[in-house]
């Protein structure tokens, strides 16, 4: 099925900058906006990839997000990112460039 493939691609690139087209971003955004189950699935897929980040990368992300390194940094990042995508607070351009708006959202502001 094509829809989960779109979410998988978006989830995989949520932690790492990768290739997501604006069209696939908008498609995934509409899916996670309209389906809480698909949003949970996208967060879980993102977490699966993000949790494999190096300890140094997780520590860096914890500093950026203003959370303790002892928290589940990967889960927090993925949850905040996908909530921002679903709500429309993170646009495709924000996601692609990791803009200041993107940073504010993953900081929980």
C-alpha to C-alpha distances, 32 to 4, 22, 35, 39, 82, nearest whole angstrom: 11, 15, 5, 4, 8
pLDDT at 100 over 90: yes
pLDDT at 13 over 70: no
pLDDT at 6 over 90: no
Per-residue pLDDT at 82: 93
pLDDT at 15 over 70: no
pLDDT at 11 over 70: no
75: exposed, middle or buried (C-beta count within 10 Å: 0-12, 13-18, 19+)?
middle
Residue carrying structure tokens 């900081």: 107
Per-residue pLDDT at 1: 43
pLDDT at 18 over 80: no
Per-residue pLDDT at 14: 56
**Token pair for 68:** 């303790």
When pLDDT is averaged across residues 17-35 and rounded to a whole number, the result is 85
Per-residue pLDDT at 9: 54
Express each pLDDT in 34-85 by its tens digit. 999 999 998 998 898 888 888 999 899 999 999 998 899 999 999 999 999 9
């Amino acid at each position: 099925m094509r829809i989960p493939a779109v979410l998988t691609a978006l989830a995989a690139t949520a932690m790492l900058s990768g290739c997501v087209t604006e069209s696939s971003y908008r498609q995934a955004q509409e899916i996670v906006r309209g389906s809480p189950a698909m949003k949970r699935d996208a967060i879980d897929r993102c977490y699966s990839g993000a949790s494999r980040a190096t300890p140094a990368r997780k520590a860096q992300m914890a500093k950026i997000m203003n959370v303790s390194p002892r928290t589940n940094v990967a889960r927090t990042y993925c949850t905040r990112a996908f909530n921002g995508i679903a709500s429309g607070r993170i646009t495709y351009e924000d996601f692609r460039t990791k803009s200041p708006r993107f940073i504010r959202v993953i900081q929980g502001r």
